Amino acid sequence: MWKEENNCLQATFRFRDFAEAFAFMTEVALHAEKQNHHPNWSNVWNTVEIRLSTHDAGNIVTDKDRKLAGVIEQIFQKYPG
């Protein structure tokens, strides 16, 4: 699901509709805030694209990114899509 490219972990998530995509983003936002590690993301209708890198480490992929990516994957598994 995740691929490391251009010093980022990147993934695309598709949902049944906008409401489901937005619910996913809301849940991810709560976890990201707890970790104080925020994704760079975009949403168009049922698609959420996420890029993770650690800005204070020089915009590279670190364990903080891998940890948040794991949480995001667990959240995504809740959605039947």
Q: What CA–CA distance (Å, rounded) separates 78 from 24?
A: 9
CATH topology of domain 3-76: Gyrase A; domain 2 (3.30.1360)
Q: What CA–CA distance (Å, rounded) separates 56 from 29?
A: 19
Global pTM value: 0.93
pLDDT value at residue 56: 87
Domains of the chain, by residue range, sit at 3-76
pLDDT value at residue 1: 85
pLDDT value at residue 80: 81
For the chain, list residues with pLDDT below 50.
none
